[in-house]
């Protein structure tokens, strides 16, 4: 599976958009980009995933660059409850492929 | 999203005893389940992958005789930490995936915090 690189930490003002970047320059053509978050002492929560088109759901938007070497998770109106560690994971659709977690980005939403 | 239930959420045991952790998929059939371990201020580390009815596949460095995994049904997997020692104290998280519906999205349990005295 492709390796991902994320900033260690970020701050965001409450009510503003939080933009979390992820580099996955070695991604292959059949690998999806998944985003999860982990609030302190809880299990990871699925946010969104995509292949090459931008995606949006009730939680967030995912913007994937045309060359697919990087992506950005956007939380449109961050709240204090969005404070968490956000993980970007790249994985193919083969049923044998597992999720390997990197270090993620610790997002702190500031009042 | 789909719900994965993990039990217990917190367990304290004496050194040398065994502890069993249960992971259940409540509203879907999990053909594949995963077990992760997380130490304080670190990321999740995959321990093993199990498919229903077959033996688990362990990641390199994970002792299969110490961490016994059973995936006897499509909704239940168990992790038994045998002869637990203080260094096994950690946050254990299970995850489940289905091969129907939204494929390859893994859903995670809330985790089990194990403290070995």
What secondary structure does DSSP assign to B12-50, as a single string?
EE-TT--EEEEEEESSS--SEEEEEEE-TTS--EEEEEE
pLDDT score, position B55: 87
Q: Predicted confidence band at B36 (pLDDT cuts at 50, 70, 90)? A: very high
Enter the tokens of residue B115.
């403290």
Within 8 A of B91 by CB-CB distance, chain A residues are 41
Q: Is residue B34 less than 8 Å (CB to CB) from chain A?
A: yes
CA distance B95 to chain A (A): 9
From the list A85, A80, A87, the residue with the least C-alpha distance to A101 is: A87
Q: What are the beta bridge partners of residue B10?
A: B113
Backbone angles phi, psi at B5, to 5 degrees: -105, 135
Contact B43 A104 (CB under 8 A): yes
Q: Which residues of B touch A84 (CB under 8 A)?
A: none
A-chain residues near B30 (CB < 8 A): none
A43-99 pLDDT tens trace = 999 999 999 989 999 999 999 999 999 999 999 999 999 999 999 999 876 656 788
Residues 50-89 of chain B with CB under 8 A from chain A are: none
Give the model confidence (pLDDT) of B72-112 as tens digits: 888 999 999 999 999 999 999 999 987 665 567 889 999 99
| Record: contact B1-A87, CB cut-off 8 A | no
Closest residue in A to B32 (Cα–Cα): A95
Residues in CB range of A79: below 8 A, 6 or more apart: A14, A15, A109
Q: Is the pLDDT of residue B1 over 90?
A: no
B9: closest chain A residue by CA: A42
Question: Looking at beta carbons, which pairs linking B38-44 to residues 24 or more positions away fall under 8 Å?
Answer: B38/B90, B38/B91, B38/B92, B38/B93, B38/B111, B39/B90, B39/B91, B43/A87, B43/A101, B43/A102, B43/A103, B43/A104, B44/A38, B44/A44, B44/A101, B44/B93
Read off the pLDDT of residues B45-72 as tens digits, 9 standing for 90 and up: 999 999 888 889 999 999 999 999 998 8
Cα separations (Å) of B28 from B51, B63, B102? 15, 29, 11
Q: Is B73 in contact with B52 (CB distance < 8 Å)?
A: yes
Give the number of other Cβ atoms within 10 Å of residue B72's Cβ. 11
């Amino acid at each position: 599976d492709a390796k991902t690189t994320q900033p260690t930490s970020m701050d965001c003002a409450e009510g503003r958009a939080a933009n979390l970047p992820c580099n996955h320059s070695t991604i292959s053509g059949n690998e999806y980009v998944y985003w999860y978050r982990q609030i302190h002492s809880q299990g990871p929560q699925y946010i969104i995933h995509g292949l090459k088109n931008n995606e949006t759901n009730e939680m967030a938007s995912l913007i994937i660059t045309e060359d697919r070497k990087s992506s950005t998770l956007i939380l449109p109106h961050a709240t204090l409850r969005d404070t968490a560690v956000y993980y970007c994971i790249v994985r193919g659709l083969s049923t044998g492929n597992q999720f390997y977690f990197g270090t993620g980005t610790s997002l702190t939403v500031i009042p | 999203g789909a719900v994965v239930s993990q039990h217990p959420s917190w367990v304290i045991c004496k050194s040398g005893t065994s502890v069993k952790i249960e992971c259940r998929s409540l509203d879907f059939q999990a053909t594949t389940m995963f077990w992760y371990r997380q130490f304080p201020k670190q990321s999740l580390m995959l321990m093993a992958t199990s498919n229903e009815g077959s033996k688990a596949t362990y990641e390199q460095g994970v002792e299969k005789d110490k961490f016994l995994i059973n995936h006897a049904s499509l909704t239940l997997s168990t992790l038994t930490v045998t002869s637990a020692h203080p260094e096994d104290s950690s946050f254990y998280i299970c995850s489940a995936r289905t091969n129907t519906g939204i494929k390859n999205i893994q859903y995670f349990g809330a985790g089990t915090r194990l403290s070995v005295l």
